[in-house]
Amino acid sequence: MSTGSVWLGLVLGLPSVSLAAQTRVTGTVAGAVLNVRTRSDAGTALGFAGSVRYRRFEFGVHYAEGTLQPTDPQAEVRDLVEGAVALRFLATPWLTFHVGPQARSYATQSGTERWVTWQAGGRGEAAIVGTSVRGYATLWRALGLNVNLSPGSGSARGGEVGVIVDLPPRPFWFSLAYGIDQSDVPGAGRRETVESLTFTAGLRRR
């Protein structure tokens, strides 16, 4: 939980300092509810996300934690904690590229399994109803994957499709997104697929 507190401080602190310092900096803060599913378990997680943008560059963070209940009653309950940091480049108003690490850990009584991926990907965005309702699709691929339990590294890829609803001129926005990623460590015979349905509500500073 101490890690979570650090992340929380970072997310809430960064936008406020930067926004006050420079008016051209825009940013968002948001809370999120996630429905997470893997092959063996599913559960709900709570989290938050934030970003600050300066000209064509955006720095984003994301954090969530929750509990996954196993579908097999004999299996252990897992605590899920995930966080990500990304540096994004806005090539055009509708196309963004990003790079950054994502860490996901599953804690059980027998130990903690930690998956760290370095992602690089792109996101396309399209207006559907004016500029108030927009859809987006993200695809990424791992530049590197490390798992602490199994020796060696592997590959990972994933994506997310979602819809964002803005409420101009108010600063509120909402989004609903479906994401799926698959990590594969062939040497250890491990493959992890995670699906998520995320509802996010946030504030945007223009």
- CA distance linking residue 105 with residue 116, whole number of Å: 8
Regarding 135 and contact with other proteins (CB under 8 A), the answer is yes
Structure tokens at 23: 């008016």
Regarding 90 and contact with other proteins (CB under 8 A), the answer is no
Q: Which is nearer to other proteins, 90 or 137 (CB)?
A: 137
SS3 73: coil
- Give the Å distances, CA to CA, from 9 to 4, 39, 43, 150: 9, 33, 25, 32
Nearest approach in angstroms of CB 196 to other proteins is 8
Residues touching other proteins, count (CB under 8 A):
33
Q: Is 44 exposed, middle or buried (0-12, 13-18, 19+ CB in 10 A)?
A: middle
The mark string for 20-59 relative to other proteins (x by CB under 8 A, - otherwise) is ---------------x-x----------------------
Regarding 182 and contact with other proteins (CB under 8 A), the answer is yes
CB atoms within 10 A of CB 78: 21
Binding site residues, other proteins, CB under 8 A: 35, 37, 126-133, 135-137, 139, 157-163, 168-169, 176-178, 180-182, 193, 195-197
